């Protein structure tokens, strides 16, 4: 019996904290400080801005840059070539974002961030020094390929904040990315100085020798390379960001191997259980395919959908605002639109810093996304009615709608980023954000190229249409002149041969030409036309023409976007439909019948492997009904219904549940980490039964009334989760912590 009382883990100081590990220092800081890490968030803000500026800074001068390369044979082809240059950055980032995510998971976030800032310094400057088209497209491709820090920055911002402030950390990153991307579509008319960052730099500083000849001469460096100055300014800012990135602490732990070795040396084999196999350095969680993680993939899909939606809105808003009133627009000037966007930008900053965190903690990221999608539908549908207003009321309504639209969008995007980072463990967070960045880059790449092709085709079609209309007009004019000539000749002939009276009659007949008419009883019946068929064709033609006219007007776009948002909301609403409890129970029952589980009668426990574990598959154990799961697995002695529920977690190396309930039976589900489960069993010599639950396993167990049980997390980094159902409301005065059952704990 002396063997039985030997401690499971010796009383030695566990090496959870390593003084040489920056991630441990960050973790200790988060545990000891309840506030927001403003200093680190400021560093992240600066570094993120340096990575986002090169994305859009080239668009104001890209057309002129490609024109000066003389690569296009026709002026209509310039847009197409410019589209390839703009898409090359996103193409490179789409190819390597996942790779940079894996690198950040293995070697840390900080090296990837530092290397990314250096890449911006070098290749963005080289792009400004491009002497031909192929150098420009190559430097942009290399810039996108080697600057893979946006994904790790998302992971980093969620790791430096406590869980309650993760939404604020993600909003800092998402706001900078959205801010710069949105400004891409507004620079062409110098709108929104408050929102325009990257494109403003490119627009104001490109071709300085022509804009500012008293400062820059044509023989200087900036005269020979007219597009180098905006690139140089952004590279200089990235150099400053490099020093800030160097001061960022690493958030990925680097001492796991020592912890595993220490735990192996200080852990004894438990009684009546298989040998404990401690996890290797490479976690099994990292070996699971991220593509099978449905919460992650679904959030990425919705993220891409809303991103495309906002791109379309940003472009359509500019067209709608400057369109004349008779076409459904506002007939605004660029100054008024700039004021609207400046007010919107200020509102976004206030909302992100002071409101969004509270909303996310109150409703949760999923509910925030759903509510935002639903509200966006009537909001976008109201834009045609806003166009009917005038005066101060119009300005007030437009500012309110614009601010609300952008607040909803940035709430949805930030919530989805939070979901993406919470759907995976820290070891997979870099790769998960890499997948997200890859999908986003592919969307933007395809969108930019399609825009260029559409612009080119629009120009060609317009030119062909104008030429065709002119040719048709000339032909019709020729025909009319020929008919007029024949008519004049006939009149002259009649004047020569007929008398004045007859001529007068002829003139009257020509002025009032006779038309064949029929009375109602003389209507030919050989080819009757049913009246209802004629009305049907006429109604269909009228409806089709009305639809065409409606689609040509600017306010048709909000209507179409509303339908698009409605479909997105439906996908959000039903994305977790596969988690039907009936389906889950049948799946587990099927596994039980096929022997795809391990049952320990002494511990009154059944554990399932990972391939049949819906809990491990979606990390949402509360969707499982422990009572039904236990009954389907053949476990007796537990609760038959849920009168009260107990949900909790156990940190690595911690103990929980070393107590007994005297007034209720309990059935619970355990998952998440390597966990030792003990159940009092007086039929055994040791007085209890013990079994180990693997990190990739889910166990369901039952503890009858008056029976003690205990849970211990022996994992090095993962958290154990449990969900318990009691068949009566717990009376904690009738529950005791009985250490006499297992003195070693």
> What pLDDT digit, counting tens, does each position of 455-476 carry?
455 544 554 455 555 556 656 6
pLDDT band at 328 (very low <50, low <70, confident <90, very high): confident
Q: Which of 221-235, 247-261, 325-339 is predicted with the least confidence, judged by mean pLDDT?
A: 247-261
State the average pLDDT for the chain. Answer: 69
Contact 679, 689 (CB under 8 A): yes
Closest by CA to 671, choosing from 625, 608, 595, is 608
Residue 309 has pLDDT above 60, yes or no: yes
Phi, psi of 209 (to 5 degrees): -65, -30
Residue recorded with tokens 């602490």: 249
Contact 168, 415 (CB under 8 A): no
- Which pTM does this prediction carry? 0.49
Q: By 3-state DSSP, what share of the chain in percent is helix, strand and coil, each rounded to 5?
A: 65, 10, 30
Q: pLDDT higher for 169 or 639?
A: 639
Predicted pLDDT of residue 115 = 92
- Mention every residue, 6+ apart, whose C-beta is less than 8 A from residue 492: none
Contact 290, 431 (CB under 8 A): yes
Structure tokens at 574: 């039903």
Closest by CA to 181, choosing from 293, 314, 81, 351, is 314
Average pLDDT rounded to a whole number, residues 254-277: 48
pLDDT band at 184 (very low <50, low <70, confident <90, very high): very low
Predicted pLDDT of residue 554 = 54
Contact 95, 142 (CB under 8 A): no
Predicted pLDDT of residue 274 = 42
Q: Which of 326-330, 544-548, 710-714, 717-721 is predicted with the least confidence, judged by mean pLDDT?
A: 544-548
Which segment, 115-129, 217-231, 295-309, 407-421, is predicted with the most confidence on average?
A: 115-129
Residue 423 has pLDDT above 50, yes or no: yes
Residue 529 has pLDDT above 50, yes or no: no
Q: pLDDT higher for 448 or 668?
A: 668
Structure tokens at 516: 């064949």
Predicted pLDDT of residue 643 = 76
Taking the C-alpha atoms of residue 159 and residue 675, their distance in angstroms, rounded to an integer, is: 25
Helix 109-128, helix 133-146: angle, nearest 10: 170
């Amino acid at each position: 019996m002396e063997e039985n009382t030997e401690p499971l883990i010796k009383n030695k100081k566990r090496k959870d904290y390593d003084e040489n590990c920056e991630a441990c220092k960050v973790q200790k800081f988060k545990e000891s400080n309840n506030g927001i890490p403003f200093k680190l968030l400021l560093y992240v803000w600066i570094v993120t801005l340096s990575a986002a500026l090169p994305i859009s800074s080239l668009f104001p001068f890209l057309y002129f840059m490609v024109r000066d390369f003389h690569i296009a044979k026709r002026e209509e082809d310039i847009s197409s070539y410019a589209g390839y240059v703009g898409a090359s950055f996103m193409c490179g980032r789409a190819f390597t974002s996942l790779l940079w995510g894996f690198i950040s998971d293995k070697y840390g976030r900080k090296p990837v961030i530092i290397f990314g800032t250096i890449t911006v310094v070098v290749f963005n400057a080289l792009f400004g020094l491009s002497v031909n088209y192929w150098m420009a497209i190559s430097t942009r491709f290399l810039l996108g390929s080697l600057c893979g820090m946006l994904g790790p920055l998302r992971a980093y911002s969620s790791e430096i904040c406590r869980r309650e402030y993760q939404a604020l950390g993600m909003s800092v990153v998402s706001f900078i990315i959205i801010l710069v991307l949105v400004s891409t579509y507004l620079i062409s008319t110098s709108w929104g100085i408050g929102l325009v960052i990257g494109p403003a730099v490119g627009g104001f500083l490109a071709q300085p020798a022509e804009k500012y000849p008293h400062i820059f001469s044509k023989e200087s460096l900036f005269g020979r390379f007219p597009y180098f100055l905006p690139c140089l300014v952004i590279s200089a800012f990235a150099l400053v960001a490099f020093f800030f990135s160097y001061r960022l602490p690493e958030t990925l732990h680097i001492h796991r191997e020592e912890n595993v070795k220490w735990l192996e040396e200080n852990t004894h084999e438990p009684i009546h259980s298989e040998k404990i196999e401690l996890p290797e350095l490479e976690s099994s969680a990292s070996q699971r395919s991220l593509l099978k993680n449905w919460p992650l993939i679904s959030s990425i899909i919705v993220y891409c959908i809303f991103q495309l939606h906002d791109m379309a809105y940003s472009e359509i808003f500019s067209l709608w605002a400057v369109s004349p009133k008779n076409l459904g627009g506002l007939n605004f000037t660029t100054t008024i639109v700039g004021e609207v966007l400046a007010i919107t930008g200020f509102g976004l900053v206030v909302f992100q810093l002071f409101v969004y965190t509270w909303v996310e903690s109150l409703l949760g990221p999923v509910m925030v996304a759903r509510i935002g999608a639903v509200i966006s539908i009537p909001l976008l549908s109201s834009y045609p009615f806003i166009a009917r207003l005038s005066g101060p009321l119009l300005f007030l309504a437009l500012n309110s709608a614009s601010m609300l639209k952008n607040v909803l969008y940035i709430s949805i995007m930030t919530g989805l980023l939070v979901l993406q980072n919470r759907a995976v463990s820290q070891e997979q967070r870099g790769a998960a954000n890499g997948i997200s960045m890859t999908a986003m880059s592919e969307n933007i790449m395809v969108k930019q190229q399609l825009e260029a092709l559409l612009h080119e085709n629009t120009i060609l079609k317009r030119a062909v249409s104008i030429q065709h209309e002119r040719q048709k007009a000339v032909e019709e004019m020729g025909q009319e002149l020929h008919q007029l000539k024949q008519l004049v000749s006939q009149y002259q002939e009649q004047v020569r041969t007929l008398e004045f009276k007859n001529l007068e009659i002829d003139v009257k007949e020509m002025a009032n030409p006779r038309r064949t008419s029929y009375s109602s009883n003389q209507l030919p019946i050989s080819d009757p036309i049913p009246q209802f068929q004629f009305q049907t064709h006429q109604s269909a033609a009228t409806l089709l023409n009305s639809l065409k006219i409606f689609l040509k007007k600017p306010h048709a776009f909000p209507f179409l976007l509303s339908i698009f948002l409605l479909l997105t909301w439906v996908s959000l609403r039903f994305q977790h439909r596969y988690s039907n409890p009936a389906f889950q129970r049948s799946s587990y029952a099927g596994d039980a019948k096929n022997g795809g589980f391990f049952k320990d009668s002494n511990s009154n426990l059944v554990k399932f492997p990972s391939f049949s574990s819906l809990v491990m598959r979606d990390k949402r154990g509360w969707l499982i009904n422990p009572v039904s799961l236990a009954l389907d697995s053949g476990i007796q002695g537990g609760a038959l219904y849920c009168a009260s529920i107990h949900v909790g977690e156990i940190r690595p190396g911690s103990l929980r549940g070393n107590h007994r309930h005297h007034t209720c039976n309990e059935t619970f589900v355990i998952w998440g980490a390597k966990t030792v489960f003990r159940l009092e069993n007086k039929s055994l010599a040791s007085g209890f039964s013990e079994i180990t639950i693997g990190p990739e396993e889910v166990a369901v167990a039952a503890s009858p009334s008056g029976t003690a049980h205990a849970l211990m997390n022996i994992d090095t980094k993962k958290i154990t989760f449990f969900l318990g159902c009691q068949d009566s409301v717990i009376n904690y005065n009738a529950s005791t912590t009985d250490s006499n059952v297992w003195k070693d704990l």
